[in-house]
Amino acid sequence: MAPASTNPFDTAPLKFEIVQGALVKYSVEEPNGRHPPTAVLIHGILGSRRNLLSFAKRLAQRFPSWQFVLVDLRCHGQTANMPTPPAGANDVTNAAKDVLATLQHLKIYPHSLIGHSFGGKVAMSMVHQFGKQLPRPVQVWVLDTVPGDVWCEAGDHPRDTIAYARTIPMPIANRKALVDSLTGAGFTLEGAQWMTTNLTPAPGATAGELTWVFDIEGIVAMYQSYEATDLWPMLETQPIGLSVDFVRAERSAFVWADEDVGRIGAYGGRVHYLANSSHWVHIDNPDGLLEILAPSFERKK
């Protein structure tokens, strides 16, 4: 029997990849020397680390002394097909614990957390679990979500998308069949095409059939947790050394109540407005998003 792998890419609690700037001379496989400043990018529901890969590469090009860790959350991407999936309930709190465990496994303590949508609540939960003192200052960027109740008022509601995805028989013949099914049920073409990124070759397929890459039942529970999880206490009693900034998309599908925006400011957070963007901030206006985030990276160069 072959010995068990000790490669951190094989043994980490979550599947991940690292994008490094040109000046970084560090490897998690041979962790010698000084750690470079590190940011962790956390995708949203029904996504994967690939969603943020292009934006991570932009960041690495702009800030070549940084490295960027991207993870597949539990029930998503390559993590969904791990032989031993992460334990515990499929919720925001445990998703945050998974990311913390992965960083501990890699012996990395990040300087920045960037979470999109569901991933934003995961990032907030990560720092909330540290309590009143962080080992070092941390910048958290929450992309187009709020700390408390989440209400979607435009576009394809994620809850509806997830509910319909549960009803689609798998495997499916091809990507077009999925697009036809979703658009026939009233979902947008853009949303249907995006859902095809969650298809993977079905085991034992002989004619190119595809199936979901994610664990749909786990995702149902995760989205319910996302809607219900209250992270206002994190802002109210935030740890020393924490900075929290929110990015609000001009065409956000989610409700940003004036009361919530004011409350964020009252607790020392800031809300940045990203023009020319829907909820998919890193796709619709990556240059604008980069300019909003840039000062926090420049302070650590």
pLDDT digits (tens, 9 = 90+) for 199-225: 999 998 888 899 999 999 999 999 999
Residue where a domain terminates, one of 167, 188, 219? 219
Asked whether residue 73 falls in the same domain as residue 213, the answer is no
Asked whether residue 135 falls in the same domain as residue 166, the answer is no
Domain-embedded: residue 13: yes
Using the predicted structure, report yes or no on whether residue 278 has a pLDDT greater than 80: yes
Domain-embedded: residue 167: yes
- Which residues make beta-bridge pairs with 201? 210
Domain-embedded: residue 1: no
Q: What is the pLDDT of residues 39-67, one digit of tens each?
A: 999 999 999 999 999 999 999 999 999 99
Residue where a domain terminates, one of 219, 241, 268? 219
Q: Which of 159-163, 228-232, 235-239 has the weakest average pLDDT? A: 235-239
Domain-embedded: residue 2: no
Residue where a domain terminates, one of 201, 219, 237? 219
Asked whether residue 107 falls in the same domain as residue 36, the answer is yes
Asked whether residue 108 falls in the same domain as residue 21, the answer is yes
Asked whether residue 34 falls in the same domain as residue 92, the answer is yes
Query: What 3 state SS string does the chain have?
Result: CCCCCCCHHHHCCCCEEEEECCCCCCCCCCCCCCCCCEEEEECCCCCCHHHHHHHHHHHHHHCCCCEEEEECCCCCHHHHHCCCCCCCCCCHHHHHHHHHHHHHHHCCCCCEEEEECHHHHHHHHHHHCCCCEEEEEEEEEEECCCCCCCCECCCCCHHHHHHHHHHCCCCECCHHHHHHHHHHCCCCHHHHHHHHHHEEECCCCCCCCEEECCCHHHHHHHHHHHHHCCCHHHHHCCCEEEEEEEEEEEECCECCCHHHHHHHHHCCCEEEEEEEEECCHHHHCHHHHHHHHHHHHHCCC
Asked whether residue 56 falls in the same domain as residue 175, the answer is no
Q: What is the pLDDT of residues 68-100, one digit of tens each?
A: 999 999 999 999 999 999 999 999 999 999 999
Asked whether residue 121 falls in the same domain as residue 25, the answer is yes
Domain-embedded: residue 133: yes
Using the predicted structure, report yes or no on whether residue 149 has a pLDDT greater than 80: yes
Asked whether residue 143 falls in the same domain as residue 167, the answer is no
CATH of the domain at 98: 3.40.50.1820
Domain count, the chain: 2
Mean pLDDT estimate for the chain: 91
Residue 3 pLDDT level (bands cut at 50, 70, 90): very low
Domain-embedded: residue 224: no
Give the pLDDT score at 6.
61
Asked whether residue 99 falls in the same domain as residue 238, the answer is yes
Asked whether residue 142 falls in the same domain as residue 170, the answer is no
Domain-embedded: residue 275: yes
Asked whether residue 118 falls in the same domain as residue 163, the answer is no
Q: Are 112 and 296 in contact (CB under 8 A)?
A: yes
Asked whether residue 25 falls in the same domain as residue 111, the answer is yes
Domain-embedded: residue 284: yes
* Structural domain that includes position 210: 158-219
